[in-house]
Amino acid sequence: MSAGPNADWATPLKLRELGRTALRFKLEPDADQRAKVAADLGLEALPSLTAQLTVRAWRDGAAITGRFDAVVAQLCSVSLEPFEQPLSGEIDVRVVPVGSVNAPEEVSGEIERNPDTPDPPDVLPGEAVDLAAYVVEHLALEIDPFPRKPGVAFEYDAPTAEESPFAALQKLKDRDR
């Protein structure tokens, strides 16, 4: 991922700015930026989001590590009531510029991956990596698509055989005889 879904909160870092020492970043969007990120992610709101990232040179690209902490507001998929919940996650990605010898090869067909090996590096379209985009991407991966407010239980009573659609069809069939 090189450009986030929301260009309103971007934190670009040019690869050539990386040196021998690691760079540390604390990212924290303002209220307007959080509102736009929340809208992009389908959230009711994003009351807080912070990320602590370390970026260091890696081969001809960069290694980005760190973590984010957020509070997301969603609608309960059962009761449709709004609620907030904390989310956090780790970020560990590698990026390389276009044309890098370290870029993954284009493969057609099925790819077999070993889950114990690191992911291949992302290929950037330009000379900069958007750190905020990686924070938003990792936040999106942690969001429950079917959130349930704490204490809310989904209760389902299966229809009895007499109430099923097939029972209704059977009654129509019997009536026509």
pLDDT tens digits along 89-98: 999 999 999 9
Each residue's pLDDT tens digit, 87-141: 999 999 999 999 999 988 877 777 777 888 888 999 999 899 999 999 999 999 9
Q: Using CB atoms within 10 A of its CB, is residue 19 exposed (0-12), middle (13-18) or buried (19+)?
A: exposed
**The tokens of 15 are what?**
């690869």
Q: How far apart are CA 150 and CA 143, in angstroms?
A: 15
**What residue spans define the domains of the chain?**
12-175
Provide the token pair at 14: 């040019």
Grade residue 7 by pLDDT with cuts at 50, 70 and 90. low
pTM of the model: 0.82
Largest CA distance in the chain: 87
DSSP 8-state class, residue 162: G
